Amino acid sequence: MIQFTKLHGNGNDFILIDEYSGTVVADDKKADFAEKYCDRRFGIGGDGVLFISKSGSADVNMRLFQPDRSEAEMCGNGIRCLVKYALGAGHLTPGTATVETMAGIMPVDVKVQGNEVMVKVNMGKPLFDRKDIPIDGNGKFINEMLEGMQVSVINTGVPHAVIFVDDLKGVDIDVVAPPIRYHNIFPKGTNVNFVSVADEGHINLRTYERGVEGETLSCGTGSVAAVVIAHHLGLTGSEVEVNTLGGILNITLEGGYAFMEGTATTVFNGNLL
């Protein structure tokens, strides 16, 4: 029997397996486990499986396996879910803590406000060599809807492409995003973000996630990527509210670092027989 907890951050949902006291799912089976149980019809359903364990260099360790069997370097919404769980399990206490990920050690600040847990994550310094890739409709990107768009490239723990549009509702994301997600400029693929700017303190965001291979309700690293690019272009200030399909994330840029703040919610606990 395997115990699990289902959590979500703004609708970006995860299955969490606690390996703090020892391995529950063997490392060579973790990809299989994610593929099987992330299925929304034949499994538990989720955008990924989080594994929490002890760390030799931080307070806890986080690993994330995705439905396509890949292991992601980091996940903004996932780290908030993991911290929320760790707090309830007694692995962490309110205040400051650190989480080890494949993208590095992420400092977090945890506050309990009534029944709500707020997690602020120091997402580090985005790897930002901004360059626009002109999508010229010459066949490389398959679909004529892409012609004339500009794609900005950035890494906020995982690779992201950011595209600004006037009307998010008019974006057929399942058609437009895959040619970018699989473009050869991204050796490991990329997440694809479509952004509309409301004003200097607010943007709207939709994200096609690598590994999920579809649109998710929210993306933490994508929110950071969108704000960093928008701020660099002079479209927003340094404190921005990001409106995703699943809810709000607050992103702050300070001293070259990006900070993400939001909540996480426990949905239910269960057992796999």
CATH number of the domain within which 101 lies: 3.10.310.10
Please write the tens of the pLDDT for every residue from 152-190.
889 999 999 999 998 899 889 998 899 889 887 788 899
The string of pLDDT tens digits covering residues 230-263 is: 999 899 999 999 999 999 999 999 999 999 999 9
67 and 179 share a domain? no
Question: Where residue 51 falls among pLDDT bands split at 50, 70, 90?
Answer: very high
Give bridge partners of residue 171 from the DSSP assignment.
none
Range of the domain at 223: 132-255
Average pLDDT, the chain: 91
| Domain co-membership, 246 together with 143 | yes
Is there a single domain that holds both residue 72 and residue 24? yes
CA pair distance 62, 256, nearest whole angstrom:
24
Backbone phi, then psi, for 180, in 5-degree steps? Answer: -80, -45
Task: Give the residue, 127 or 104, on which the prediction is more confident.
Answer: 104
What predicted TM-score, i.e. pTM, was given to this entire model?
A: 0.89
| Residues that are catalytic | 75, 219
- Note whether 62 and 101 are same-domain residues: yes
pLDDT of residue 136: 45
SS3 (DSSP) at 40: coil
Question: Is the domain of 65 the same as that of 163?
Answer: no
Q: Residue 142: what pLDDT?
A: 36
Number of domains forming the structure of the chain:
2
Cα pseudo-dihedral 43, 46, 48, 53, rounded to 10: -80
Q: Are residues 249 and 190 in the same domain?
A: yes
Q: Is the pLDDT of residue 74 over 50?
A: yes
Tell which wins on pLDDT, 263 or 138.
263
Q: What percentage of the chain carries pLDDT values higher than 70?
A: 92
CB–CB of 106/26 below 8 Å?
no
6 and 118 share a domain?
yes
**Residues 147 and 233 grouped into a single domain:** yes
In angstroms, rounded to a whole number, what is the distance separating the alpha carbons of residues 113 and 246?
Answer: 21
Rounded Cα gap, residues 102 and 47, in angstroms: 18
